[in-house]
Structure 1
């Protein structure tokens, strides 16, 4: 017997695809209600972020390879943007998923529907915003001679899956905890502030190895975000750069599978915690 207010977990999301579509449509409409640019903000925000980071890090701090700085990263613009699009997906997905239950409190108190739909719909909305940025990235890569292999494209898909699963699992955890402790929102904000710098979005992974040593690099690679970002670099940046620093040792054979396993474990943990807490959502809200 299933207790009232409980669901079958993420399996109910699969069986409620129509409701999921309605929630995604609602989120898109509400977010851009009264907006002049609407979905174009999906292009504007990452573009501004890219320009700021590129000027500050690529030019001022010398991370872009040039005649005066041969030790920099070649084609740094592609390197930077390929990391930004993925980390932006993660930050938006987790931020919205962690607030999704509280934000939809009025609906949750009125009717019953699988509560996992709310964090999952937040992930899907972030995926919709991710697509226009990917289009820009692919076009930029093509203009710089992008000729990826099947292995590289497959690794990019796995990298995105790792990050999407991580965002889903953490979204379930913080979405549920936020109902009881609103401090969870502030914790997520701090976590997301660190996320960009805790993965090789703005700098090369070799800097971690050179400055902190091999042991620190192993710990650094346990972060699924690091695996996802480096997977995107492998797929989009490396085919456009004549000389690169290469992948971390055993990246494809060891670290990508580890990143996938870690993200799946986070989803399972998130589902377990969500199921334990969802019974009192309506009362707490």
Structure 2
């Protein structure tokens, strides 16, 4: 993991997104190794190890299928079509997006605090800690997505070709997550109770997003709250390409991408401008 281009932890360097992407590319090998180490550490000591990352989504999907398909006989939007697992598939698609966001959002305030040994080193690119957290979240989201696609294939006998658009649908959310990750990672050093707030906000975002219900089920005056939720557009577009087999709304994703890029730029700027004081308060 030797890298002669590492930026000293105490020196902010450039605060532009170009510098952030350059740092990612320079340290991609280090990020990959740290990501895998983090994933493996989560299951260290368990009998089945990383296999749990696949078994847990299967168990969750089984529970959703039984509860919503068998017990409640739920149908998305009140429509009668679809088998017992159809509601569970639609629900699980929203939960995957929310879970991806929530993992980084909840962990971000403690990323720097939990790696104080890196802060005190003369050479370490602290900003890549957010990339590592994002990589770990993507790994678990990918295993859950594999389970979702497996059930969809069992129910319908095919997969929509539009699933190829999924990386483009998720990309703006990932950019936004990076920006929020950098901002919260730096803020968490100075305001350590911020982690309590993110936990509550994560639950609020879950219930104010079309995860458990469709947007059409919400009365018109209250739909603005859903549209202001950063997860709503991505969840809706992910279902479009995964479940309904329709191309995404490129205009909506374009606007989202612009906002996400601005948020990422602000988040990285904040991280770089505050990182010099990390060692003083830890």
TM-score, normalisation: structure 1: 0.82
Q: 1:42, 1:130 within 8 Å by CA — same for their partners in 2?
A: no
Equivalent-residue separation in structure 1 for 2:109 and 2:55 (angstroms): 24
Indicate yes or no: 2:38 matched with 1:27.
Answer: yes
Q: Which of 256, 259, 273 is the equivalent residue of 2:270?
A: 273
Q: How far has the Cα of 1:176 moved from its partner?
A: 0.7
Q: Which of 206, 209, 213 is the equivalent residue of 1:199?
A: 209
Q: Which of 177, 185, 200 is the equivalent residue of 2:195?
A: 185
Q: Which of 86, 89, 110 is the equivalent residue of 2:100?
A: 89
Gaps in structure 1 of 5+ consecutive residues:
240-245
Which residue does the alignment assign to 1:243?
none
Deviation string 1:96-126 (CA, Å, 9 cap, x unpaired) is 3332111111222133211111111110111
Q: 1:159, 1:227 within 8 Å by CA — same for their partners in 2?
A: no
The size of the alignment, in residue pairs, is: 266
Q: Which of 227, 247, 269 is the equivalent residue of 1:221?
A: 227
Q: 2:10, 2:122 within 8 Å by CA — same for their partners in 1?
A: no
- Aligned-pair Cα RMSD in Å: 2.8
Which residue does the alignment assign to 2:109?
98
Q: How does 1:239-250 map to 2 (within 5 A)?
A: 239=245
Indicate yes or no: 2:167 matched with 1:157.
Answer: yes
Gaps in structure 2 of 5+ consecutive residues:
1-7
Indicate yes or no: 2:145 matched with 1:148.
Answer: no
Which residue does the alignment assign to 2:12?
6
SS at match of 2:204: helix
Q: 1:83, 1:201 within 8 Å by CA — same for their partners in 2?
A: yes
Q: Which of 100, 123, 137 is the equivalent residue of 1:126?
A: 137
Deviation string 1:129-174 (CA, Å, 9 cap, x unpaired) is 2221121122222223344244x632x2222112212221111111
| Residues 142 and 58 of structure 1: CA distance in aligned 2, closer, same or farther (over 3 Å) | closer
| Residues 58 and 174 of structure 1: CA distance in aligned 2, closer, same or farther (over 3 Å) | farther
